[in-house]
Amino acid sequence: NAGVMQNPRHLVRRRGQEARLRCSPMKGHSHVYWYRQLPEEGLKFMVYLQKENIIDESGMPKERFSAEFPKEGPSILRIQQVVRGDSAAYFCASSPWGLAGASYEQYFGPGTRLTVT
């Protein structure tokens, strides 16, 4: 049973370029969370999605960042016009269905390490 898959594992972008990060949840999971881990900081929530719906985007920066989870295919976190401050590890976590929509259990992928030069 494959775990959460993320690709690419490492991504280098120049300032002003776009970054696309992909996340395939565990089999049977239809809930995806994205988190960001900045150097010397803890993991910070960004967005929570169900298939074709953004449920909670309270942690997303207001500009340049967007996320989607289409009916078919992986969830994508998109960062437009990247800046050096976007350099971080981006993790997605998937969750099975639970009484509150999603379960409290979240299983993390290996992350994508974004470096902006």
Partner 1 sequence: QKEVEQDPGPLSVPEGAIVSLNCTYSNSAFQYFMWYRQYSRKGPELLMYTYSSGNKEDGRFTAQVDKSSKYISLFIRDSQPSDSATYLCAMTRMIYNQGGKLIFGQGTELSVKP
In the complex, the residues that contact partner 1 under the rule CB under 8 A are 4, 31, 33, 35, 41-45, 48, 55-56, 58-59, 91, 93, 95, 98-102, 104-111, 113
CB of 45 to partner 1, least distance (A): 4
CB of 53 to partner 1, least distance (A): 10
CB of 16 to partner 1, least distance (A): 27
Compare residues 48 and 65 and give the one whose CB is closer to partner 1.
Answer: 48
Rounded to 10 degrees, what is the CA torsion of 67, 71, 92, 11?
Answer: -70
Residue 84 dihedral angles phi and psi, to the nearest 5°: -60, -35
Contacting residues for 16 by C-beta, under 8 A, at least 6 apart: 81, 82
Distance, in Å, from the CA atom of 6 to the CA atom of 12, rounded to the nearest integer, reads: 15
Compare residues 66 and 103 and give the one whose CB is closer to partner 1.
Answer: 103
CB of 110 to partner 1, least distance (A): 5
Compare residues 12 and 43 and give the one whose CB is closer to partner 1.
Answer: 43
> What's the angle, vertex CA 9, arms to CA 5 and CA 13, rounded to 5?
135
> With contact defined as beta carbons under 8 Å apart, do 108 and 32 qualify?
no
Compare residues 17 and 57 and give the one whose CB is closer to partner 1.
Answer: 57
